[in-house]
Amino acid sequence: MKIRNSLFCWMFSASLVAFVTVNAAAQTTPKPTAPLPSQRLLPTQAELTEMMDEDEDEEKPAETHKALENEPAVENQTSAEKKPTVEEALRDAFLPPPHARPLRKDSFLWVDRDKKRVYIDGYLAMDRGPLEMFACPRGTKEHESIVATIARSSEVHAALLAVGTMPGTPVRFDPEFLPPTGQRVRVWVSWRDEKGKYHVSDARRWVKESESGKQMQPDWVFAGSGFWTDPSDNKQYYRADGGDMICVSNFSSAMLDIGAASSASADSLLYTPFTGRIPPRHTLVRLTLVPIPIPTDKPKHEDAIDPDKPPGDEILPVKK
């Protein structure tokens, strides 16, 4: 059985990275069951390396971006000024993390292979109300997610593979409940306040158990989501691109899910935002995803990455 499960995981991962980006058109807010018009399928490992090692002088292919109505505005902005997009606000606020390579030219997703970290930029979408996600791609489920990212779930999946994170299997409900599996991943949130002071928090501190009022305890696991085929065009789409990036309710489409039972039913959601610990809405943030090493019998290397050590302010440099 273990051999069969390992073979299944290997075959699934191999097929996952065999797909390439198919569309970069302007996106609209999708229905939860439908794929994003701009969904991207995953690049191969060779293409992933080429994207991160490409010449910085190379021109970036033209892409279109549609700013959402709820994108964060820049403070002290007058009514006569044009409202910036999230991309413009992020580029004006932060520099890329040092020693990390962008997954794509001018993207807001970076990979640091040496430190085994994945960085994602985004903003605070909500701080109160029913919660199904901790983070979702912008334009999907901001109404039930604390953070909206400027990256798709499929891209983050590819980045996690690039730093050696092992995917598992999504949750199963039939014929019996089986929790999601996969390598555990620590998620950190970094931001700067209005005075420029650096702050960092374990993402679980922003999520509260509805009944006990205590912060969330389970780790996230790299469940890996999956693909579905659209009968209208017979093309495959990555399921988590519809919104299920970092979940706090169990979904069979989740990329990162919590390794414990958590209801997605609207009348029995287990988690809500820990409002008092969360900065104001529209605060710009940088997520750091760190795979938690799988226990082995080998002695721990002195240079091993400690996923429980908060990233320092050097990962969120600001423009002078």
Per-residue model confidence as pLDDT tens digits over 131-170: 999 999 999 999 999 999 999 999 999 999 999 999 999 9
Q: What is the count of structural domains for the chain?
A: 1
> Tokens 């002071």 identify what position?
197
Give the E-state strand segments of 14-144 in sequence order: 101-102, 109-112, 117-124, 133-137
Instruction: Give the span between the Cα atoms of 300 and 302, in whole angstroms.
Output: 6
Range of the domain at 238: 2-53+82-315
Q: What is the structure's pLDDT at 82?
A: 78
Query: Cβ distance 191 to 283 under 8 Å?
Result: yes
How deeply is 231 buried, as exposed, middle or buried, from its count of CB atoms within 10 A (0-12, 13-18, 19+)? Answer: exposed
Q: What is the pLDDT of residues 288-320, one digit of tens each?
A: 999 999 887 666 665 667 899 999 999 999 987
DSSP assignment string, 182-240: B-EEEEEEEEE-TT--EEEEEGGGGEEETTT-PBP-SPEEE----EEEETTTTEEEEGG
Is the pLDDT score of 45 beyond 90?
Answer: no
Instruction: Give the span between the Cα atoms of 172 and 174, in whole angstroms.
Output: 6
Q: Is residue 123 part of a domain?
A: yes
Q: Is residue 66 part of a domain?
A: no
Q: What is the structure's pLDDT at 210?
A: 86
Q: Is residue 11 part of a domain?
A: yes
Q: What is the pLDDT of residues 67-119, one digit of tens each?
A: 333 445 444 545 456 788 999 999 999 999 999 999 998 899 999 999 999 99
Average pLDDT over residues 206-223: 93
Q: Is residue 173 part of a domain?
A: yes
Is the pLDDT score of 12 beyond 50?
Answer: no
Q: What is the structure's pLDDT at 301?
A: 62
251 Cβ partners below 8 Å, 6+ apart?
132, 170, 171, 244, 257, 264
Q: Is residue 67 part of a domain?
A: no
Q: Which of 13-17, 184-188, 205-209, 245-249 has the lowest mean pLDDT?
A: 13-17
Query: Cβ distance 285 to 212 under 8 Å?
Result: no
Q: What is the pLDDT of residues 13-32, one digit of tens each?
A: 444 444 333 333 333 333 33
- More reliable by pLDDT, 219 or 79: 219
Q: What is the structure's pLDDT at 7?
A: 40
Q: Is residue 191 part of a domain?
A: yes
Average pLDDT over residues 241-262: 91
Query: Cβ distance 241 to 35 under 8 Å?
Result: yes
Q: Is residue 76 part of a domain?
A: no
Phi and psi at residue 242, in whole multiples of 5°? -75, -5
Q: What is the structure's pLDDT at 34?
A: 38
Q: What is the pLDDT of residues 159-185, one digit of tens each?
A: 999 999 999 999 988 888 888 999 999
Instruction: Give the span between the Cα atoms of 110 and 103, in whole angstroms.
Output: 6
Q: Is residue 63 part of a domain?
A: no
Instruction: Give the span between the Cα atoms of 125 and 120, in whole angstroms.
Output: 15
For residue 238, what pLDDT band results from cuts at 50, 70 and 90? very high
Q: What is the structure's pLDDT at 61?
A: 33
Instruction: Give the span between the Cα atoms of 72 and 85, in whole angstroms.
Output: 8
Q: Which of 93-97, 124-128, 269-273 has the lowest mean pLDDT?
A: 269-273
Instruction: Give the span between the Cα atoms of 207 and 134, in whole angstroms.
Output: 8
- More reliable by pLDDT, 168 or 263: 168
Instruction: Give the span between the Cα atoms of 290 and 309, in whole angstroms.
Output: 10
Q: Which of 151, 173, 105 is nearest to 255 (CA)?
A: 151
